[in-house]
Structure formats: C-alpha cells, structure tokens
Chains A and B, each alone.
Chain A
Amino acid sequence: MEIKNGKLLTIYISILSLLYAATGILEIISALLNLIIGIGLSWIPPDLFGGFSALVISAIFFKAIFPWRRRKKANPYLLGATLMSMIFGTLYILIFIATGIDAYIVNEEWKWITDLMRPEIWLAAASTPLTYMAWIKMLKEFKGKAN
C-alpha cells in the first residue's frame, strides 16, 4: 500500500479504531457481568483494565485519522497507536505461552483456545502492516527530509 493512498489508509485506521473500541467495551461488559452474575460473555475475556487499555488504543487510532489529511508526513498518533498495539499483542502472546508452560508444570488442563482467542492478539496481527509502514517506511522518508 502506498502512503499516498490516503483514503484506503484512513479506512484501515478507522476499522482498527472501531475494532479496538468494540473489544474494549465487550471486555468491560463481560467483566461487569462476571462480577455481578458470576458469568461473563462467552469468548470475551472478562477484563476490566484490559478493556480500558483497548479503549485507549482505540482512541489513539482515532486521533491518527485526523492530522493525516493536513500533513502527509509521519503521523505521531499512528506511531503511538501501532506501538501500543504491538506492546499489548506481545504481552498477550507472552501470557499465552506462560499459561501453557505453567499448565504443564502444575499438571493442569490448558484451555489454549480461550487463551489464544484474546482479541488483542489478532488486532495486533491485523495492524502489523500499518506498524511496518509507520515505523519503517514513513520514518525513512521523514529522516530524508530532516537531514
């Protein structure tokens, strides 16, 4: 995808922002349900602060939509959003691995599908092309101009 394709990019970023927002809201609802009636939404991890974090990432992606049109240089919010997305993606993958190892050590059953279905892992995967673009391609262009 070329950087000049502003429209496609805007759509890509908007979708990510929406998906993160949905994830965040559902995780929070799931957590609250779990707390009150003892059972959360199926397939949605009941995670209050995790949901909050997803909402924060959504908000950064949302902000990345706007300055884009005015300036076609590197976009700070895109850098921030993809960075956060990667941090949380990596975190949940690490947790996935650690839970697996731990289950083996204490000899418990490992519900690996539930662990792997953490939406943030898949959203991080979905934002990888964007991350590459923001951090490698755009920064290169940006550096070229700075010097």
Chain B
Amino acid sequence: MKIKVALIGNPNVGKSLIFNNLTGGRSHIGNWPGKTVEKKEGRCIYNGVEMEIIDLPGVYSLTAQSIDELIARDYIIEEKPDIVIDIADASNLERNLYLTLQLMELEVKLILVLNKMDIAENLGYNIDVEALSKKLGIPIVTTIATEGKGMDELKKIIAESIHREWKAKKISYGREIDELIFKFEKLIAVERQFSTKYPTRWLAIKILERDEDILKKIKKSRNLDEILKNIDESIKVLGDEPDVALAEKRYEWISSILPQVLKGIRPVTLSDMLDKVFLDKHLGIPIFLSLWWSLFRFTYDVSAPLSDLIDIFFNRLGDIVKEYISNEQLASFIADGILGGIGGVLVFLPSILFLFFGLSILEDSGYLARAAFVMDKLMYKLGLNGRSFIPILLGFGCNVPAIMATRTIKNEKDRVLTIVVNPLISCSARLPVYILIGGAVLGEYATAGVYSMYILGIVLAVSMALLFRRIIPFFKSGRTPFIMELPMYAKPILKTTVIHMWERGSLFLRKAGTIIFLGVISVWFLSTHPWGSPIEETYIAILGKILEPLFYPLGFDWRGAVALFFGFIAKEIVVGAFSIFFGFGGEGEEESLKQYIRTHKIFTPLTGYAFMAFTLTYIPCIATLGAIYRETGSWKWVLFTVTYELILAYTVAFTIVTAGHLLGFT
C-alpha cells in the first residue's frame, strides 16, 4: 500500500528541509522565500508503509495568481493526495494559519506541522498545541527540521492516518456570507461534474471570490445563469473586492482563536536590530555594494593559490605527454586540446567554488533577501516592479535557475520583462573570462575590473527593463504593490554551506566534462587542421578572419572573434579557446597565458576591458536560451533577447573603446 503525501506551506517555512529529512532527497534549501518553484517527488518507508512525498512551491494562499501558486493548488485539487501536510512556521503563526484555513476548506485530509519550534521558543512563544488542534479539528506535530526533531513522529502519524478519519472544523464567515455560500453550494451540489471533483463548499467560496480559474470551469454548469445572477447579487454584500472581504473574515477568525492558544508577545529580536542597519534608508544600498565587493575580492584573490596549483599541474602533465607520446597529432590532441583546453577552464574551478561559497553564506544567513529588498525598493521608485531582484541576485550564480525563480512574480508582463533582462546579469561562467583578461591587462585594477562587470550587468539590466517598459507596448502595465517577507537571519552552518557550494560547483564540473569539452575539442581541431599549417592558415583562422572585420572597430583580433563565436555554446569556452591559441608554439614554458596576452598585446587595457563587457552582454548561452523558451513558452522572446543583447553588446563595447580613446587610454 502506497500513500501519496503532499507537503505544502508558506515560503521559507522549511518544507524542503523536511522533505529532504523524510526522503533523503536533495531539494534546494536556503534562507529566502521562493526557492522551490517546481514540485519534487521522493520516497519514504515507515513500518512497511510506503509513502510518496511531494515537495511543493511555497504559497501564501491558494488564489492561483502566480505560477507557483497554481502548481501547488492544482496538485492538491487535481492529483488528490491521500494526505496533505501543511507546514507552518511556529514563530509566525498568525500569517501561516491563513493557508491552513484554506486547506481546511478544501476538505483534504490535513495534518498541521509546526516547524521552527526552536525559533518560536527563543522568541518566548508558548503554543498550546492540543488546544489549537481541537480548534482546527486536525492533528498537529511539532518539529525542528534543522535538528531532525519530530520527523519520526511525523512519519508515524502519516503511516497511521490510513486507518484514521477526521474532519477539519468549518470556518464561519458570519451569517450573511454563510448564507450566500450555502446558496451557491446548493446550485453546484446537484451537478455531478462538480460535486465529485471538488468540495462543494470550497467551490462555492471560490465562486463568491470570483476566482478567475474557477469561473472558467463553472461555465459548463447547467445553472450558469442563476449562478451569475447570484454573483451579481453578492456584490451588494461583499463589494467590488470579494476576495479581500473574505480574506479579512479569515484573519478575523484567526485573531479570535490565537489568544487562546498562543502566549507571549514577539520581542525585539537580533534580526530586527540587524535590519535597522542593513535596510537603512541611506546605507542599505552602499552596504550591499560593499558586501558584494568583499565577495569578489574573496573570489578573486583568496582563490588564486589554488588556481595556480591547478595551472601548474596541467602544464606539467602536458609536458610529460609531449615528451612520451611520439605521435605528434595524438600528443597535440592530448596536451593542447584536452589538457590545455579543459585545463584552461578547470583552472577557474577554485574561483567558481569560492564564489558559490560566498553566495551560499549570503543566502543562508538571510542577507540575500535583504539585498533583494533594498534593491527592489529602489527599482520600485524607478518605476519597475519589486520582487525582481531575487532572480537578479541568483543570476550571479547561473541564469537558468534565476529565470526559473521568476515564477513567483505575479504579473505576467513583469515576469517576462525580468526574464529577458536576466541574461545581462553576470553568471559564474563569465567569471573565468574576466579573471583571465582582467588579470592579464588591468594589473592592480583586475579585481575592480571584475567587480565593475557585475555592477555593469545590474545597471544594464535595470536600464533595459526601464527602456523596454517605455517603448514596447507589451510591457506597459500598472504597478502592483510591492511586498516581500523577510526571513530571520540565521548563522550559516559550514556543512550546509559547503554542500551548497559543491552542488553548484559540481554542475560546473559536469559541464566541463560535456559541453565545454566538446566545444574546446572542436576549437582544438579547427585550429590544428589542416595539420601542420601555421595557426594563421588553419580552419579556425579562416573563420576568424571572416569575423574579424566586424570586431575591428572594437579592437579585437580574429582570435577574440572566434573565441566569442564559440562562447555562444558556453561562455567558459572563451577561455578554453584562448588557452589553446596561446598555448601553442612553445614560446618559453615559463610564460603564462596572462603574460602572453599582455606581452603580445592581444589586448590593451582598454580593448581587454571592452572585451570583458562584450562577453558580459553579447548573447545568452544555449542553456539560458532554453530556459527563456521554457519559461515564456515562445521563441519570440528568445529571438528578442538574442537580438537586443547583440546590439547592446556592440554598443557598450564600442562606447568603452571610444570613450577610452577620448580620455587618452590606448
């Protein structure tokens, strides 16, 4: 016998952590709302009972206004899990119970989990669990997911639930509204197409709320005319915003029972105090910029010894290969192609791991949510909608998950806008290019150069968003109010931070072994054939020379042009390609790649910087284009992104070169 169990709850309450605890799964955990945007499945066996457990996106309500809410609600209504586990944050009962009430109305078999009991206790809250359970009419389990506390109890109660029945209490909305609900209920109950599929009272409430999704479904009703007539009448009682009126009633109900089950008032916490500083009206954004600067110094400078070790390792290995393999082609394939090309990319593994380590600390500590908050406030003032900055900050890691994170944005136009500007946010794949070129030509300003690329990315993304909103009719929309819930700060735990870092870092390794490998090997092949000819006469040079005129005004030679061309597959290939081009010819083994670029004037500080900016902007990688297509469901937006980014990249690089010349740089 297998039971289907759904985990649902507000964002950031610990659903995924509980899911991982129960199933041994690997759902992403972090300290900001909106991480899980797709449902995840796992398995768990307790006392011979097999459970299929589903981790759902976090939702505040079941109104189906955004994609994540729709996923969660549809799952519960359409898939009908045997048990629904509502996970609530015990330190924030009032808000969390709102969802509980809606689940009770859905008449599912419901268990309430009060998680984060440790935080609730620290805040001095005292929850009368038994009384609350009686008031709601559902069983309650208390847990501390971070310590694994209460997990066995939870499994037990789920396993036993097959033999138990219980009914949640009905919430009264007051006589007048209750009567309206009853009227709709009677109309629906006679139709089997509805009554077998949905709980009738819930459906009645949704009709009363004029839920768009439900009104569409109700169109098939035989009693449609009468239902519509009743809806018109209900306006007299509920006014223009019936969902708001009903929400108020639910909150009233919650406030009426809370004092009976919850003792203690929320004191001022350390989180409140830190927020005074980190969300400070004037200092919030400067603090964000300095912390981000420290992240890049950490990424760039502290990882340097490890990168150099890897570099030396691959160089030695290449020497050995060339010495012992007599077949010239094979030796070149292994030494220059595989070791040179892939080695040239892997050298950046430490930097990428350090970046992810830093990002994970910012994420787990709760600061990421604050950074997004202060920036969103600014964006809102600029006329953009809030809630877009979490995807932007996630883009620093990788644009693909960042684009998926836009699912929490309610307004579809804002969502698409956030998606199409996201590739401008500098992901970790572009980091190697900055480090290589910046390190080669910017000297002491290398880190500043890298950092400025990230800032440039943000500035460009915001400017483009503003521009598109102005000039493209599709994006014109009213502003939705900006609310964002901030989690409590938490001390990052080394183990989870390292796991996070590794999860993301291993993706990079997998990429290096697959798509980057193929790209780099192609570059090697094209740059060594026809075999034996000098590099200027190889296939790749022919391709490069075709592209070169395009890039001539920017000061990139054919090698830069070709590297960018292959970087379209994955941006890491740009450094792999350079490493192959400049690794040849045995110009004295001592000379490192960076030195070669500098001494042979492949780039000047100015054209190098323009090249970095061009790499930042020019085109999203294939994976990102795929994500744009999946999330917008249209090739139109993919094409749009590619086009505007190419134009923008050229404009930006050209501006940098021209302005630099005017200022007297070469």
**A residues neighboring B (CB under 8 Å):** 34-35, 46-50, 52-53, 56-57, 59-60, 63, 74, 76-77, 79-81, 83-84, 87-88, 91, 94-95, 98-99, 101-102, 105-106, 139, 146-147
Q: How far is the CA of A87 from the CA of B287 in the complex (A)?
A: 12
- Interface: B270 (CB within 8 A): yes
Using known A-B contacts A88-B294, A146-B268, A147-B124, determine if residue A101 contacts B305 with beta carbons closer than 8 Å: yes
Contact of A76 with B276 in the complex, beta carbons under 8 Å: yes
Q: How far is the CA of A98 from the CA of B312 in the complex (A)?
A: 17
Contact of A99 with B287 in the complex, beta carbons under 8 Å: no
Nearest A residue (CB) for B455: A49
18 contacts between A and B (CB under 8 A): A49-B289, A52-B293, A59-B286, A60-B287, A63-B283, A74-B273, A76-B274, A79-B274, A79-B277, A83-B274, A94-B301, A98-B301, A99-B304, A102-B305, A105-B309, A139-B270, A146-B124, A146-B269
Contact of A76 with B277 in the complex, beta carbons under 8 Å: yes
Q: How far is the CA of A37 from the CA of B308 in the complex (A)?
A: 31
B302: A residues at CB distance < 8 A: 94-95, 98
Contact of B294 with A53 in the complex, beta carbons under 8 Å: yes
B301: A residues at CB distance < 8 A: 94-95, 98-99
Contact of B448 with A48 in the complex, beta carbons under 8 Å: yes
B298: A residues at CB distance < 8 A: 91, 94
User: With contacts A49-B448, A105-B308 known, what are 9 further pairs, Cβ within 8 A?
Assistant: A49-B290, A53-B289, A57-B290, A60-B277, A63-B280, A80-B277, A102-B304, A102-B308, A105-B312
Q: How far is the CA of A83 from the CA of B305 in the complex (A)?
A: 27
**B residues neighboring A (CB under 8 Å):** 124, 267-270, 273-274, 276-278, 280, 282-283, 286-287, 289-291, 293-294, 297-298, 301-305, 308-309, 312, 444-445, 448, 451
Q: How far is the CA of A59 from the CA of B281 in the complex (A)?
A: 13
Give the shortest distance, in Å, between B318 (CB) and chain A (any CB).
Answer: 17
A83: B residues at CB distance < 8 A: 274
A77: B residues at CB distance < 8 A: 276-277
Using known A-B contacts A60-B283, A74-B273, A94-B302, determine if residue A80 contacts B290 with beta carbons closer than 8 Å: no
Give the shortest distance, in Å, between A116 (CB) and chain B (any CB).
Answer: 15
Nearest B residue (CB) for A40: B444
Closest 7 interchain pairs by CB?
A: A80-B277, A53-B290, A146-B267, A76-B276, A76-B273, A101-B305, A102-B305
A98: B residues at CB distance < 8 A: 301-305
Q: How far is the CA of A77 from the CA of B278 in the complex (A)?
A: 9
Nearest B residue (CB) for A88: B294
Give the shortest distance, in Å, between A112 (CB) and chain B (any CB).
Answer: 15
Q: How far is the CA of A107 from the CA of B277 in the complex (A)?
A: 44
Q: Which of A49, A52, A57, A88 has the most CB of B within 10 A?
A: A49
Q: How far is the CA of A102 from the CA of B306 in the complex (A)?
A: 8
A50: B residues at CB distance < 8 A: 293, 297
Q: How far is the CA of A57 from the CA of B293 in the complex (A)?
A: 13
A101: B residues at CB distance < 8 A: 305
Q: How far is the CA of A146 from the CA of B298 in the complex (A)?
A: 37
Give the shortest distance, in Å, between B67 (CB) and chain A (any CB).
Answer: 36
Give the shortest distance, in Å, between A52 (CB) and chain B (any CB).
Answer: 7
Q: How far is the CA of A81 from the CA of B297 in the complex (A)?
A: 20
Q: How far is the CA of A91 from the CA of B445 in the complex (A)?
A: 18
Nearest B residue (CB) for A74: B273
Nearest A residue (CB) for B272: A76
Q: How far is the CA of A84 from the CA of B286 in the complex (A)?
A: 12
Contact of B290 with A84 in the complex, beta carbons under 8 Å: yes
B448: A residues at CB distance < 8 A: 47-49
Nearest A residue (CB) for B285: A56
Q: How far is the CA of A95 from the CA of B287 in the complex (A)?
A: 21
A60: B residues at CB distance < 8 A: 277, 283, 287
Give the shortest distance, in Å, between B308 (CB) and chain A (any CB).
Answer: 5
Q: How far is the CA of A46 from the CA of B267 in the complex (A)?
A: 45
B444: A residues at CB distance < 8 A: 34, 46
A139: B residues at CB distance < 8 A: 270
Nearest B residue (CB) for A103: B305
The one of A34, A46, A56 in contact with B290, judged by C-beta atoms closer than 8 angstroms, is: A56
Q: How far is the CA of A146 from the CA of B444 in the complex (A)?
A: 49
A47: B residues at CB distance < 8 A: 448
B294: A residues at CB distance < 8 A: 53, 87-88, 91
Q: How far is the CA of A63 from the CA of B445 in the complex (A)?
A: 31
Nearest A residue (CB) for B312: A105
Q: How far is the CA of A83 from the CA of B361 in the complex (A)?
A: 14
Q: How far is the CA of A84 from the CA of B291 in the complex (A)?
A: 8
Nearest B residue (CB) for A135: B270
The one of A74, A87, A105 in contact with B291, judged by C-beta atoms closer than 8 angstroms, is: A87
Give the shortest distance, in Å, between B107 (CB) and chain A (any CB).
Answer: 40
Give the shortest distance, in Å, between B486 (CB) and chain A (any CB).
Answer: 15
Q: How far is the CA of A34 from the CA of B445 in the complex (A)?
A: 10
Contact of A80 with B274 in the complex, beta carbons under 8 Å: yes
Q: How far is the CA of A79 from the CA of B271 in the complex (A)?
A: 11
Using known A-B contacts A49-B451, A146-B268, determine if residue A84 contacts B287 with beta carbons closer than 8 Å: yes
Give the shortest distance, in Å, between B347 (CB) and chain A (any CB).
Answer: 13
Contact of A56 with B273 in the complex, beta carbons under 8 Å: no
Give the shortest distance, in Å, between B267 (CB) and chain A (any CB).
Answer: 4
A48: B residues at CB distance < 8 A: 448
Contact of A56 with B287 in the complex, beta carbons under 8 Å: yes
Give the shortest distance, in Å, between B305 (CB) and chain A (any CB).
Answer: 4
Nearest A residue (CB) for B269: A146
Contact of A56 with B451 in the complex, beta carbons under 8 Å: no
Q: How far is the CA of A76 from the CA of B291 in the complex (A)?
A: 18
Give the shortest distance, in Å, between B265 (CB) and chain A (any CB).
Answer: 10
Give the shortest distance, in Å, between A142 (CB) and chain B (any CB).
Answer: 8
Q: How far is the CA of A101 from the CA of B312 in the complex (A)?
A: 14
Using known A-B contacts A48-B448, A87-B294, A146-B268, determine if residue A105 contacts B305 with beta carbons closer than 8 Å: yes
Q: How far is the CA of A60 from the CA of B308 in the complex (A)?
A: 38
Q: How far is the CA of A74 from the CA of B273 in the complex (A)?
A: 9
B309: A residues at CB distance < 8 A: 105
Q: How far is the CA of A63 from the CA of B287 in the complex (A)?
A: 13
Give the shortest distance, in Å, between A138 (CB) and chain B (any CB).
Answer: 10
Nearest A residue (CB) for B295: A91
Nearest B residue (CB) for A100: B305
Q: How far is the CA of A34 from the CA of B443 in the complex (A)?
A: 11
B445: A residues at CB distance < 8 A: 35
Q: How far is the CA of A47 from the CA of B301 in the complex (A)?
A: 14
Q: How far is the CA of A109 from the CA of B302 in the complex (A)?
A: 18
